[in-house]
Each structure stands twice: as C-alpha cells, then as structure tokens.
C-alpha cells in the first residue's frame, strides 16, 4: 500500500459558526480558530477541515455559496484566512476547505444572471425546465423541501435544486461551468490550502432527460437517489476536475459521497483510480438514520468496509459530523456512560484503517442538544420537517419530538470551552442556544482532569501517530459470541495490536487465545484495567469488560 501523509493524518472538523467567537457577535470566526490553534496542537491533530467560510446568505449555514472568492464577513476577512493558513502551517497543521460545487446559492451572480431571461448567457449554468402538465418538470423530492423544482415567475420556468430553492444545482454538463469551477479551485490551491472536502460531490451528474423517480404510491414528490446520485458522467467529471486542478499540487481530497457501497468507493477513491484520495464512509451512519442504534449492524458494516477496502481504496472515517447526531447520542450513551462511551468511540475511530476526522466537541464527549420550541432551531432541514408534520395535522408536541431527533442543530451548538455564561464560546448570546445543563462538559474542566475524555483523545491520537500498524495494518476481525463485544487486530509486519470494545451497557466476557505470548495494555477506558493473566492450565484468557469498556493492547 502506498504510504502518504494524508493517510497518516488525524483530522479535526471545525464548524466555524460554533467554534469560538473572538469579536462578540455571537458567531464563531476565523480569528477564533487562530486563537485556539494551540489547543488544537496540544490535542495532537494535524489537519483541519473547515466547514464553508465563503460568502453566503447562510440559508444552509454556508452550504449555499454566493461568492467562492470571498470570505463571509461574519467570519472575518481574506487577510484573516491567510493568517490562519500561515499560523496553522507554522504549527505543522494542514488546512482543507469545504468545496460546495454541486450547487451555488440562489444569490450567486451566475444564478442571478441565469434567472433574468431564457436566453441569458448564464441560463445554461443551471437546470431550467418548463412546467409539465402545469406542474413541476418531474416528481423529484428535495432534501430540505417538498419538491426539487422551484418555480420562478420571471421566466415562467422551474429550476432544479435538489437540496432547496436556495441551492440551485449547477449544470455540470455545461463545459463553461466546469471551467469556472476549476479556475476557482486553482485559485484556492495557489493560496496554499492543503486540500478539499468535496460536498455532495457524487450528485453532480444527473440522469439525462431528468426522468421521474419510480413511485409506489400516489405521493406527489418522491425521494430517491436513483436519478442524481452516482450519475452517468460523475467519474468523467471528477477525473477531469482532478487533472485540471488537484493533480498539480501536493494536496488531498476527500469526497462526501453518500449512499455508496465499498465497490463504489473503489471507483471514487481507489489506490489507482485517479479520482479522490479518499471518500467518507456513511453506511453505518445512514443505517442509524433509518433504523436507529443497532450494534450488530455497526460491527458488520465497519468490518466489511475495513476488509474489502484494505489495499484497494482509502476512506475518511467519522462517527459524527455537522449533519449527524453526536457520537455518544448515536452509538454510545448520552446519560450514565457518556464519558466511557465517548472514550470507547475515540479508540474505535483511531484504531481503524482510514483517515480519522474528529468533529469539534466530540473530544470532550459533548452530547446532542434538544430544544423545546421550534423558535430555537436554525437548521433548514428542521423547518422542512416541522412544516411537513404540521401539514399532516400532528400536534405540536409530537412534531417537536421528531424535530428534536432529526434536526442537525442537535450537534451544531457552540463549543463548550468553560463552565461560564455561553460556555465561554462568546460574551454575547450565541447564534444557536447553548445547552446550559451541559456546560459542566467543557474543555477547561477536561484539561484539569487527567482521566477526562479529552486526555483520552490525546493519548489515543498519540498512539496512532506513533504506530504505523494502526494506520496501515491489516484489519483482522476476532470472532466473539457476545453481541455487544467487538474485537479486532491490526497487523503490520511484526507489529500486532488488539482492540476489544464492549459496545453495550452490560458486562461482557471475551474469551480468547490471542494473547498466547502475552500483551501490553496501551490504553483503556477504565484506568484501573490490570494486566491480563492466563487462567492456569488453560490456553486462553478470559477478560471481563465493564459497560463501554475498551482496551487497546499490543501483542507480544
Ligand atoms: O450533505 C449532503 C448530504 O445529503 C448528507 O447529509 C448525506 O446524508 C451524507 O452524504 C450521507 O448519506 C452535505 C453537507 O454536509 C450538508 O451540511 C449540506 O446541507 C448539504 O451537503 C448541502 O450542501
């Protein structure tokens, strides 16, 4: 397998709006990130993924860009951005930006021109179609709104926006669009950024003719990925983009390709594929979204991806991000075993093959936040859900129950730096309410407590950076007959590591012969974990694991 710096990286995802507010306007900013660089260095991470900082009306918190060449003033200036890059680089931290090029904002100049008239030179930068039977051109549903088509009176046509009307889809079939995007990408690369996370990038090619989605009911709008995910020209477009941009720089790209299988990941991020350097895995989190927590399935999905992609393709790993619930709330325990499960998932994330991405706040084990009233919410997807359920006639409390579970605001709350007003994030009321009850979970207290989640992350990051087997080693699943247990080895040359995790809140027992020559415990969720001893006369070891206990060992 080819060794690369970005395979060995430990990345940290910053949601700038909620990271640190340096100028008292209630919104995080670039200077805030600069001020926290020492904190990030001490955590041990060496790559930052910055969620969108570009000029944007922020209808979808920056995933609706109105000018790719400027910084949203709420975050600072281009000079601040340059300073961040320079300061991060001085500390050996690489910086990757979010690249949102499936769509722009409806306030982008191209779209503003495009909507002026049917023969405007920019018309074909987007998808415009006339009504069909006095209705939308097809039955596609949008992610954040009922229909993916949005009517514009000015020219009596609809435009396509598969996320929302604020996010019109760019027409990648038009070579002019691609050329403009490549110039913009090169402009950023010339600035010295170290790569990109490509947003919703497997949506850029749509099935020609934009046919209706298959419908099994009489619903007016049908949600399906079939006609716009992994479309017919997607690989051609990505390769062309790569050749004209990334290939000329020592940078890395991570594709956000939802709904893919390991087979497809090999096409997008194969070792010899010439597309992206890595793609995020979402099968485990997508499964959660549909079916809720299922430990058996989580184990199965992770093992399958680890085994099938070894030596063939590289992935970006995350258990949470700005779209997902917090790790402890999704796969762990946000109550009694919050700290234990937060540590367990730190070990899980950092002992797998693939580049780990830590979402801000997970390093202190922040749980989800739930608000009582819809007024507290800011997420565009929460409003879609709220309005739909309202239309269906549900009562307020039942609606809010669902909004609390599904709104992406649950994980987007301001970072807890201290147990003071507004969690030390800002001196004024933040753009999204801090959960007062959770402020006891904060960086300052975590730094003080040697047994905290934060210190656990530090140790785990350090172990990963020092042991190439945790990055490149083969993943070998260890069979256990207990459902809550997950055990695997990572093997590279002479080095062999053993990870065992109890993903449940019940005691579990591991019986294994794998420690025949003995082992060293490198890190454990419960600090009083003793050395393992063989039962005399028996060839195996019996190991009792407490709720959410996880242990990393090096085999002798
Ligand atoms: O999200 C795209 C998206 O649909 C994911 O939420 C999807 O669930 C994932 O690929 C796994 O299936 C991206 C951004 O992350 C999100 O914040 C934006 O709202 C969206 O694109 C639109 O730009």
User: β-strand 519-524 against 550-555: which pairing, if any?
Assistant: antiparallel
For residue 153, the CA-to-ligand 1 centroid distance in Å is 29
Q: State the closest ligand 1 atom to the C-alpha of 143, by its place in the atom list counted from 1.
A: 4
Q: How confident is the model at residue 511 (pLDDT cuts 50, 70, 90)?
A: confident
Q: What is the pLDDT of residue 6?
A: 96
Q: What is the pLDDT of residue 535?
A: 63
Average pLDDT score, the chain: 95
DSSP state of 438: G
Is the Cβ–Cβ distance between 466 and 511 less than 8 Å? no
Is the Cβ–Cβ distance between 58 and 458 less than 8 Å? no
**What residues flank ligand 1, with Cβ below 6 Å?**
60, 63, 100, 143, 163, 199-200, 256, 258-259, 282, 286, 322-323
Instruction: List the strands of the sheet with 128-129, edge to edge.
Output: 128-129, 157-160, 149-152
- Of 401, 331, 319, the closest CA to residue 361 belongs to 319
Indicate if the pLDDT at residue 541 is higher than 90: no
Q: How confident is the model at residue 538 (pLDDT cuts 50, 70, 90)?
A: low
Hey, which residues does 313 pair with through a beta bridge?
270
User: What mean pLDDT comes out for the span 285-302?
Assistant: 96
Which is the catalytic residue, given 80, 199, 333, 409? 199
Q: How confident is the model at residue 527 (pLDDT cuts 50, 70, 90)?
A: confident
Separation CA 104–CA 109 (nearest Å): 10
Indicate if the pLDDT at residue 523 is higher than 70: yes
Closest protein CA for atom 12 of ligand 1? 258
| 256 labelled catalytic | yes
For residue 448, the CA-to-ligand 1 centroid distance in Å is 36
DSSP state of 411: G
Closest protein CA for atom 1 of ligand 1? 200
For residue 311, the CA-to-ligand 1 centroid distance in Å is 28
- Return all residues near 119 (Cβ < 8 A) that are at least 6 apart: none
Indicate if the pLDDT at residue 534 is higher than 70: no
What is the best residue among 57, 60, 256 to mutate for testing ligand 1's pocket, by most ligand atoms within 8 Å of CB?
256
| 80 labelled catalytic | no
End-to-end CA distance of the chain: 25
Closest protein CA for atom 6 of ligand 1? 323
The CATH code belonging to domain 11-102+170-369+411-460 is: 3.20.20.80
Q: How confident is the model at residue 378 (pLDDT cuts 50, 70, 90)?
A: very high
Q: State the closest ligand 1 atom to the C-alpha of 100, by its place in the atom list counted from 1.
A: 23
CB atoms near residue 243 (< 10 Å) = 12
User: What mean pLDDT comes out for the span 68-96?
Assistant: 98
**Alpha-carbon separation of residue 359 from 22, 322, 516 (angstroms):** 20, 8, 38
Which is the catalytic residue, given 136, 145, 256, 334? 256
Q: What is the pLDDT of residue 1?
A: 72
Which sequence spans correspond to the domains of the chain?
11-102+170-369+411-460, 109-160, 371-410, 473-555
3-state secondary structure of 499: strand
For residue 159, the CA-to-ligand 1 centroid distance in Å is 20
Closest protein CA for atom 17 of ligand 1? 323
Strand ranges, E, within 101-185: 128-129, 149-152, 157-160
Q: What is the pLDDT of residue 281?
A: 96
Separation CA 52–CA 111 (nearest Å): 19
For residue 407, the CA-to-ligand 1 centroid distance in Å is 13
Which range (65-79, 374-388, 465-479, 515-529) has the least confidence?
515-529
Indicate if the pLDDT at residue 539 is higher than 80: no
Q: Residue 297 region, left (φ>0) first, then alpha (ψ -120 to 50), else beta?
A: alpha
Q: State the closest ligand 1 atom to the C-alpha of 63, by its place in the atom list counted from 1.
A: 23
- Of 87, 99, 57, the closest CA to residue 74 belongs to 57
Closest protein CA for atom 3 of ligand 1? 200
For residue 445, the CA-to-ligand 1 centroid distance in Å is 33
Closest protein CA for atom 2 of ligand 1? 200
Q: What is the pLDDT of residue 437?
A: 80
Indicate if the pLDDT at residue 217 is higher than 90: no
Q: What is the pLDDT of residues 242-293, one digit of tens each?
A: 999 999 999 999 999 999 999 999 999 999 878 999 999 999 999 999 999 9
**Alpha-carbon separation of residue 25 from 29, 35, 61, 379 (angstroms):** 9, 16, 16, 19
For residue 258, the CA-to-ligand 1 centroid distance in Å is 8
**Alpha-carbon separation of residue 229 from 4, 73, 216, 260 (angstroms):** 29, 33, 20, 9
User: What mean pLDDT comes out for the span 229-253?
Assistant: 97
Fold matches, 109-160 and 473-555: no
Q: What is the pLDDT of residue 516?
A: 76
Superfamily of domain 109-160, CATH level 4? Oligo-1,6-glucosidase; Domain 2 (3.90.400.10)
Q: What is the pLDDT of residue 537?
A: 65
Q: What is the pLDDT of residue 273?
A: 76
What is the C-alpha radius of gyration for the chain, rounded to an integer number of angstroms? 24
CB atoms near residue 538 (< 10 Å) = 10
Q: What is the pLDDT of residue 216?
A: 87
Q: State the closest ligand 1 atom to the C-alpha of 102, by its place in the atom list counted from 1.
A: 23
pTM over 0.85: yes
Which range (43-52, 238-247, 504-513) has the least confidence?
504-513
Q: State the closest ligand 1 atom to the C-alpha of 380, by its place in the atom list counted from 1.
A: 19
What is the best residue among 258, 301, 406 to mutate for testing ligand 1's pocket, by most ligand atoms within 8 Å of CB?
258
For residue 199, the CA-to-ligand 1 centroid distance in Å is 7
Closest protein CA for atom 7 of ligand 1? 258
| Both tokens assigned to 458 | 């530090």
What is the best residue among 200, 282, 410 to mutate for testing ligand 1's pocket, by most ligand atoms within 8 Å of CB?
200
Q: What is the pLDDT of residue 536?
A: 64
Q: What is the pLDDT of residue 115?
A: 98
Q: What is the pLDDT of residue 533?
A: 63
Closest protein CA for atom 14 of ligand 1? 199
Is the Cβ–Cβ distance between 62 and 51 less than 8 Å? yes
The CATH code belonging to domain 473-555 is: 2.60.40.1180
- Of 98, 95, 545, the closest CA to residue 347 belongs to 545
Q: What is the pLDDT of residues 132-141, one digit of tens each?
A: 999 999 999 9
Q: What is the pLDDT of residues 3-46, one digit of tens each?
A: 999 999 999 999 999 999 999 999 999 999 999 999 999 999 99
Q: What is the pLDDT of residue 218?
A: 85
- Return all residues near 418 (Cβ < 8 A) that are at least 6 apart: 424, 439, 442, 443, 444
User: What whole-number percentage of the chain has pLDDT above 70?
Assistant: 98
Q: What is the pLDDT of residue 514?
A: 80
For residue 117, the CA-to-ligand 1 centroid distance in Å is 31
Q: What is the pLDDT of residues 179-188, one digit of tens each?
A: 999 999 999 9
């Amino acid at each position: 397998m080819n060794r690369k710096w970005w395979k060995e990286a430990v990345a940290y995802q910053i949601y700038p709006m909620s990271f640190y507010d340096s100028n008292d306007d209630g919104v995080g900013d670039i200077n805030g990130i600069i001020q926290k660089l020492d904190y990030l260095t001490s955590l041990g991470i060496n790559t930052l993924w910055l969620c969108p900082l570009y000029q944007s009306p922020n209808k979808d918190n920056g995933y609706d860009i109105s000018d790719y060449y400027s910084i949203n003033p709420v975050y600072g200036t281009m000079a601040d951005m340059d300073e961040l890059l320079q300061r991060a680089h001085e500390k050996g931290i690489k910086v990757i930006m979010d690249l949102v090029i499936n769509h722009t904002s409806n306030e982008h100049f191209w779209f503003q021109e495009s909507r002026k008239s049917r023969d405007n030179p920019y018309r074909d930068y987007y998808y415009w179609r006339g009504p069909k039977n006095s209705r939308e051109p097809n039955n596609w549903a949008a992610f954040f709104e009922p229909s993916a088509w949005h009517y514009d009176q000015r020219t009596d046509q609809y435009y396509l926006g598969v996320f929302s009307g604020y996010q019109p889809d760019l027409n990648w079939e038009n070579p002019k669009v691609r050329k403009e995007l490549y110039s913009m990408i090169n402009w950023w690369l010339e600035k010295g950024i170290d790569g990109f996370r490509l947003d919703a990038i497997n949506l850029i090619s749509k099935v020609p003719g934009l046919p209706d989605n298959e419908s099994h009911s009489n619903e007016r709008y049908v949600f399906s990925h079939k006609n716009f995910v992994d479309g017919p020209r997607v690989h051609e477009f990505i390769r062309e983009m790569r050749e004209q941009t990334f290939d000329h720089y020592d940078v890395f790209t991570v594709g956000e390709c939802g709904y893919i299988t390991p087979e497809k990941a090999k096409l997008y991020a194969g070792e010899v594929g010439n597309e992206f350097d890595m793609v995020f895995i979402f099968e485990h989190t997508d499964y959660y979204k549909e079916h809720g927590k299922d430990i058996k399935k989580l184990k199965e999905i992770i093992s399958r991806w680890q085994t099938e992609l070894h030596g063939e393709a590289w992935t970006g790993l995350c258990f949470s991000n700005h779209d997902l619930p917090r790790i402890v709330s999704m796969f762990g325990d946000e109550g009694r075993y919050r700290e234990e499960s937060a540590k367990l998932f730190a070990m899980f994330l950092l002992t797998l093959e693939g580049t780990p991405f830590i979402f801000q706040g997970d390093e202190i084990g922040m749980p989800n936040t739930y608000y009582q009233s819809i007024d507290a919410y800011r997420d565009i997807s929460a409003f879609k859900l709220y309005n739909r359920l309202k239309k269906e006639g549900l009562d307020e409390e039942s609606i809010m129950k669902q909004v609390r579970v599904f709104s992406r605001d649950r994980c987007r709350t301001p970072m807890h730096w201290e147990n003071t007003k507004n969690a030390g994030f800002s001196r004024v009321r933040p753009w999204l309410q801090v959960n007062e009850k959770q402020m006891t979970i904060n960086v300052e207290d975590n730094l003080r407590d040697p047994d905290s989640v934060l210190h656990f992350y530090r140790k785990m990051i350090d172990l990963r950076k020092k042991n190439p087997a945790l990055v490149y080693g083969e993943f070998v699943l260890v069979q256990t007959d207990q459902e809550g247990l997950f055990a695997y080895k990572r093997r590279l040359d002479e080095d062999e590591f053993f990870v065992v995790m109890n993903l449940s809140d019940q005691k579990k027992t591991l019986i294994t012969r794998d420690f025949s020559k003995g082992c060293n415990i490198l890190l454990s969720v419960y600090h009083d974990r003793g050395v393992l001893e063989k039962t005399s006369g028996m060839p195996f070891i019996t190991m009792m694991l407490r709720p959410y206990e996880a242990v990393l060992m090096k085999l002798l």
